[in-house]
Structure 1
């Protein structure tokens, strides 16, 4: 393994960004018309978003990295500088004159701002340090009288495992005790039986992939070793604020599994092979069993599906025939009002509503009056131009997350009516708007909570063969909140 050499350029050098700017400038229509061009984008250590046209491959050939080699090399230059600086993500905007003279503004990052998704605009603004959406704060409800399933049979479980894994190396009691100390929880009896038969360490397979496959077949999943066991609580399922705020915990009275994000009683012990995690559930729903096996989908941020009533059933290949949850006739706790779904706000308003999203709307702007006084409403997201009167938001006192367009935020800010109950906020931008006014608006909101602002670093230089200037000529000018 060779050591990676540090980038010779820093994130604050114009030359670091010049190849990216040159590509964006070359692809700008106004550049070809001989007018100043405004370009913007976002580059992170794991992804990037640039408004560049990708050349389509010839018919019958898949797209290759070589098709965008110039873009990849330009981005790699910036990402190396990000890694050296310990920065995950930076948005930028630049104005480039026909001569190639450019003013580049790096936007952020800020510890109080999540990166935008595929855009140079800010993501969610974290107004209260360390705050989490309500579903991520929810703990399991106690279920009186919950017991293991009748199918849980320690002797049968051990016998079947030893039959299927006669050469497996089991964990010692000391190893099991160490795992319990690390997790801060006592492992349930069935899980202890499983690990006493096999500790699932790769070194025990002697590089025999077939042996690992036999173990997966015998157990019913890709089993974690004891060191990889973890508690699948809410912190294990990260979700961006704007998405998490639209989730809601729902556990009907006849549910087998509580509709949580995570639980201190969910012990993740294996994988399906497709990224979904299996866990032993010690905090079941009202109709569930202690020790039932549940699956946490990698495509979802909340809830879990019942797989087997016990670990014994999982190993014996007896999936549960019970439903994970059942929904009654009560209205949902989240509502989406759009031209393509729920088409009026009155249909969404009820005392149990927690999260309301108003999306694309081609009729008259909507009033929020039907939602006044709803006791559990904590999230409102509204597409730009969909609200008849943004000041009606002041009649929704329990909001913890608010997402609006720039004009709606401007109304609230000018009236000094931004709800002080908020823990996070977001600005939704329609179309290709200049990021700078959006950043300025975000900083106004952050200032109300005295949170770290988005800092602009201004770099000046030349792009391409502009007369009188060499590409990459660097003239740095400050870095201040704007």
Structure 2
């Protein structure tokens, strides 16, 4: 039986990309004139939720803010591609194109690959070398807190009585609904949280479009309460972070901490929001100085840690102030994440200590650094090095515990040619500088992916004619 060729996707149709390429070509017209007969190279990235294109933004008239109408041509061109991405079930795609002076264009769509995270601009993001690999902070589980107990202020009966006075008409959650939530979460709810939901189950249908009723509930509990059906565990997976950023984090719980310094915990039960995008949770895995059932805030602007709000849910609802404990000054100790550059730590030797987990070597005006001082450190798992800062990139082979490595293309080339890419890596990143052509970066990325037999970044080549430049 003859096989049918699948229909061509609109994302692979040059006409879909024509408006975007036309805008980029017009924006680079001055450079094209200086280049003479040489082709013009443009690149970028378009995703279903945003885009990165080197297009100038017009300055609005004095006294008026920028408006979408000011860049309507750009929006229309991008939305055409975004519609094609949605049709193809693709989240985002980067591209590189060469356009000759006559308007003939060769467009290369780069990816996507299930082994490559979205990057910034047209270059690929982190390469995931081990399937489903997570950075070490995202694998960290809470320390045992067997000695912890509820705060003396925790009073479920008083809490329930207070809330019934504030919410006399609220619809309670049944014991069966509370038990169902516990079964779904796989954890027993603390008595204070049960007391709260025995007063109000906080389902949106209970107040419908009566916004005053909803506001009354939120005011009574001092937060935007989730329903008993919406409770969830803030495990590490709920705080997604790209590898190239997550690998730069380090987690730590000092001996005087009230909250464990974690990305997430099986004991963090999220029950509300604060109206600003942050989550409130009941903490069942407190730090050494904390209490079981304390209330913590998970900031949407941070990926690690939580802030203690109250020693108990009773304290939170009754607006009782708490007395914090002084914390040790972490700045007096060697950093777990060390930044070596002209404005911070001045040498790799100064950064080296047994607890070092992350070494980032940034812009540096002096002689390149040797990695000898950090070879053999037991916890070093991340190395990022700016181009030209390493005296000998092959020293990286001595860092046998690395799980993440970020280098410029030239340093990766040295490792690849020598067969010295560390096999301990779970992820890697190639730093592209400035307006560097993404195609050589993609070629190096595919070499690295091939070492782990991971899916490569596929190039789709489209050709078309943009016509004469207007």
Counterparts in 2 of 1:38-437, with a 5 A limit? 38-117=41-120, 119-323=121-325, 326-327=328-329, 329-437=332-440
Q: Report SS of the residue matched to 1:419.
A: coil
Alpha-carbon shift at residue 48 of structure 1 (Å):
0.3
Aligned to 1:26: 26
Alpha-carbon shift at residue 347 of structure 1 (Å):
2.1
Q: Does 1:444 align with 2:447?
A: yes
State whether residues 252 and 327 of structure 1, in contact with CA within 8 Å, keep that contact through their aligned partners in structure 2.
Answer: no
Q: Report SS of the residue matched to 2:97.
A: strand
C-alpha separation in 1, matches of 2:446 and 2:343: 34
C-alpha separation in 2, matches of 1:326 and 1:183: 35
With normalisation by structure 1, the TM-score equals 0.93
Distance 1:324-1:412 versus aligned 2 partners, 3 A rule:
farther
C-alpha separation in 2, matches of 1:143 and 1:255: 12
Alpha-carbon shift at residue 258 of structure 1 (Å):
0.4
State whether residues 307 and 319 of structure 1, in contact with CA within 8 Å, keep that contact through their aligned partners in structure 2.
Answer: no
C-alpha separation in 1, matches of 2:326 and 2:79: 46
Listed one character per residue, the Cα deviations across residues 182-225 of structure 1 (whole Å, up to 9, x for unaligned) are: 11111111100000001111222242212222211211211001
State whether residues 309 and 319 of structure 1, in contact with CA within 8 Å, keep that contact through their aligned partners in structure 2.
Answer: no
State whether residues 306 and 320 of structure 1, in contact with CA within 8 Å, keep that contact through their aligned partners in structure 2.
Answer: no
State whether residues 403 and 427 of structure 2, in contact with CA within 8 Å, keep that contact through their aligned partners in structure 1.
Answer: yes
Alpha-carbon shift at residue 327 of structure 1 (Å):
4.4
Distance 1:430-1:323 versus aligned 2 partners, 3 A rule:
farther
State whether residues 257 and 325 of structure 1, in contact with CA within 8 Å, keep that contact through their aligned partners in structure 2.
Answer: no
Listed as ranges, the gaps of 5+ residues in structure 1 are: 1-7, 468-482
State whether residues 223 and 275 of structure 2, in contact with CA within 8 Å, keep that contact through their aligned partners in structure 1.
Answer: yes
Choose from 455, 459, 477 the match for 2:458.
455
C-alpha separation in 1, matches of 2:272 and 2:266: 17
Listed one character per residue, the Cα deviations across residues 308-363 of structure 1 (whole Å, up to 9, x for unaligned) are: 00000001001432249544543221111121222222221100000111111122
Aligned to 2:3: none
C-alpha separation in 2, matches of 1:357 and 1:248: 13
Alpha-carbon shift at residue 386 of structure 1 (Å):
1.0
Distance 1:209-1:324 versus aligned 2 partners, 3 A rule:
farther
C-alpha separation in 1, matches of 2:208 and 2:115: 48
State whether residues 9 and 88 of structure 2, in contact with CA within 8 Å, keep that contact through their aligned partners in structure 1.
Answer: no
Alpha-carbon shift at residue 135 of structure 1 (Å):
0.4
State whether residues 133 and 241 of structure 1, in contact with CA within 8 Å, keep that contact through their aligned partners in structure 2.
Answer: yes
User: Cα RMSD over matched residues?
Assistant: 1.5
State whether residues 26 and 469 of structure 2, in contact with CA within 8 Å, keep that contact through their aligned partners in structure 1.
Answer: no
State whether residues 22 and 464 of structure 1, in contact with CA within 8 Å, keep that contact through their aligned partners in structure 2.
Answer: no
Distance 1:360-1:49 versus aligned 2 partners, 3 A rule:
same
Listed one character per residue, the Cα deviations across residues 433-477 of structure 1 (whole Å, up to 9, x for unaligned) are: 11110000000000000000000000111013479xxxxxxxxxx
Listed as ranges, the gaps of 5+ residues in structure 2 are: 1-7
State whether residues 295 and 305 of structure 1, in contact with CA within 8 Å, keep that contact through their aligned partners in structure 2.
Answer: yes
Distance 1:155-1:202 versus aligned 2 partners, 3 A rule:
same
With normalisation by structure 2, the TM-score equals 0.95
C-alpha separation in 2, matches of 1:272 and 1:324: 26
